[in-house]
C-alpha cells in the first residue's frame, strides 16, 4: 500500500471528491436560482455569496481530480435539478416569499452538510483531508446563516 498524496489519490477518495463536486454544483445552481426568485435583496445577496463559495469549492476539488488524470464531474445531479424545480414552483405559488424559499434553501444546505460529514468519515487521513475540512467549515457557516435567516423571516 502506497502513501496517498494530492497527486496520487486513491480511487475511493476520487469517487468521494466527484460526489462533492456534484453536490457543490447542485448547491451553487440551487442558490443562484433561489436568488432570482426571492423577493428580498438581502436574502438574494446572501444566496449569491454562498453560491460563489460553492462554485469555488467545486473548482478546487475538480483541480485535484484532474491532477490525478481523471475527468472531473462538471454537472449537478438529477435530484438537484428536481429540487430546483420544486423550489421554483413554491416560489411562484408564494410570490417569492423569503421564508418559503429559505425553507427550501435550508433543505439543500442540510444535504450538502450531510454529504461533507459522510465524505469526511470515509476520507479521514487522506491527502485532501485538510482541503475538505476547510471547505466543510464554510459549508457549516453557509448552512447556519441560511438557517438563521429562515428563523428571522419566520416571524415577519
* Within-domain flag for 1: no
For the record, the C-alpha cell of 118 comes out as 459522510
60 within domain boundaries: yes
Residue 5 within any structural domain of the chain: no
Domain count of the fold of the chain:
1
Does the pLDDT value for residue 1 go beyond 50? no
pTM of this prediction?
A: 0.88
Give the domain extent around 16. 11-154
Kindly report the CATH number assigned to the domain that includes residue 133.
Answer: 1.20.1260.10
The answer to whether 58 and 25 have CB atoms below 8 angstroms apart is yes
SS3 string, 121-151, reads: HHCCCCCCHHHHHHHHHHHHHHHHHHHHHHH
* Mean pLDDT of all residues in 3-24: 94
pLDDT in tens, 48-80: 999 999 999 999 999 999 999 999 988 766 576
User: What is the 3-state secondary structure of 40-59?
Assistant: CHHHHHHHHHHHHHHHHHHH
pLDDT at 104: 86
In a domain, 6, yes or no: no
65 within 8 A of 72, measured Cβ to Cβ: yes
Residues with Cβ within 8 Å of residue 24, at least 6 apart in sequence: 54, 55, 57, 58, 61, 112
Cell triple for 68: 490525478
Amino acid at each position: 500500500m502506497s502513501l496517498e498524496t494530492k497527486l496520487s489519490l486513491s480511487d475511493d477518495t476520487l469517487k468521494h471528491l466527484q460526489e462533492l463536486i456534484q453536490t457543490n454544483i447542485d448547491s451553487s445552481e440551487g442558490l443562484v436560482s433561489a436568488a432570482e426568485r426571492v423577493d428580498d435583496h438581502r436574502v438574494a445577496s446572501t444566496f449569491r455569496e454562498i453560491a460563489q463559495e460553492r462554485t469555488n469549492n467545486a473548482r478546487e476539488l475538480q483541480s485535484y481530480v484532474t491532477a490525478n488524470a481523471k475527468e472531473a464531474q462538471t454537472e449537478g445531479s438529477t435530484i438537484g435539478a428536481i429540487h430546483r424545480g420544486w423550489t421554483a414552483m413554491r416560489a411562484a405559488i408564494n410570490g417569492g416569499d423569503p421564508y418559503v424559499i429559505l425553507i427550501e434553501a435550508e433543505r439543500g444546505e442540510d444535504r450538502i452538510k450531510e454529504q461533507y460529514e459522510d465524505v469526511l468519515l470515509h476520507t479521514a487521513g487522506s491527502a485532501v483531508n485538510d482541503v475538505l475540512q476547510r471547505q466543510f467549515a464554510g459549508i457549516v457557516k453557509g448552512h447556519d446563516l441560511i438557517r438563521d435567516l429562515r428563523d428571522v423571516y419566520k416571524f415577519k
